[in-house]
Structure 1
């Protein structure tokens, strides 16, 4: 058993203190846990922020003002050593929803006075008892859709508040057997090797079958949606995605880890690609765009069974000249 108890306790304490804090108290909380040189990487329009004071001022205080009585409802909580730096650093990962009452405007989006759930996934690097780096991606278009807005054309997958893992065993507050994490990381790396080439010579479905269970669940971001089984995933996301882009770069991750039957990664960006037209109903451009992505996986046996995906689509499309957030901020909710 590899013990990440100290790192998990620090992150859990941060979450507990953040949940209790009033909006104007978030800076004090973050300063207690964040190192002086802390780097925070977030979904557009937040991008990269340095230091607890700015993270509180730009993100947490406005969000907690907009969503009072906010709760963090976790579906996955894990920690592990980062393969991307030779397993030198330890990162913790939390995934789930931030739930609250949408009672005040946020980022120009009109409040509904109703319950909303903001999908999120957060990676935290812990060094010497402090958090030195954070990557927090959240599904802002999903929140827009809950507020009655339609930021994108009709998506190919299903729209829903997404559930956690089927076995309900993703909250790993205690140490997990190390061999299980090694198997999960190997399965993720095999998948990256299989699917990162786009030229295996196999049909897309057979290529997917090398890494995925036949009844795989792919919990995609709003604008794409969720899809189920290899044939439907190939039809509703993977096939259209490959057809809609060219000049895909190599993949780069800042962190990739696993614990137990779960693992994941993020990049800043993960890769770049150029739209050839059609994907998400958008036109072709000549502009390479960045894909900032978090993927969280559940392994079952020697293959992957579930995948939760966070893609900063607002950042990608803004690079293509389409400011989705500005458009939606001008539209009243229905």
Structure 2
């Protein structure tokens, strides 16, 4: 057990983790070789400059890395299943006992999807098939590694036709572990606001929980749009809400949960370079509802313990504070009724008996 794991040896809940960003480097290389996918190099150290983010850059630059590794498993059911199973196993190694893994079925499909962004060629794997493959994989891996796994289906605002299909998939697979809907690229959402608002109205009408990527690379107004126009339950990132105190006050008053991802926020230059000036430090001192997450641990080569280290080292958080963040996450998760109550109760009971020595 590592020093970090000993220090943070308690159950954790994680709500913002992209399944397609959870890969192991060795797996990417093996899949590329097996599927005949050309990579710039097949050396495990050299490939990191193409599939990992190692320095501060823009959000757009970080996302461009996905074009280098996603083709190794997009469109291949067996490869997607392997990525999903390993992602669950790795979350369990972090001590996570409840996780919501998010992904876009359309990005991983190679059939009935337009445009085809990452799969090398068209085939027979529909978005619906991707959902079924991943649901089966995370269920099996979750049982094996004793971690409760639920999934959130994502879409990209620019492709509103994906969005409504994704929302319908959320509804169709609600009884098989799919618990929510997410949308990224809020700039595209503003351009296609009418269509995307209709998607969120569908979600609200049908009891589908929602979260929105907002206030990461863009302004505080994105957070306001997500809260007031889309009536989102949670905000992915949301750091730049601090640029407008009135919007920040709305979020605090409504108890909106912010899915904070410290390491990714640093590399995407969404926050100040000085860790002591990170918005989450203000969130913490203001008693804002937020939790800590890894976002894309494969891309960033990070663990949840690394995120916790930042919180304790730079923001003055104690182990009890980290417990509070996990309770925040549990109370804000997309489980319903008895399942959510049980998750919260189990964490609170464990934390009450935690040995802080």
Structure ranking higher in strand proportion: 1
Structure ranking higher in helix proportion: 2
Q: Same fold by TM (over 0.5)?
A: no
Relative to the length of structure 1, the TM-score reads 0.29
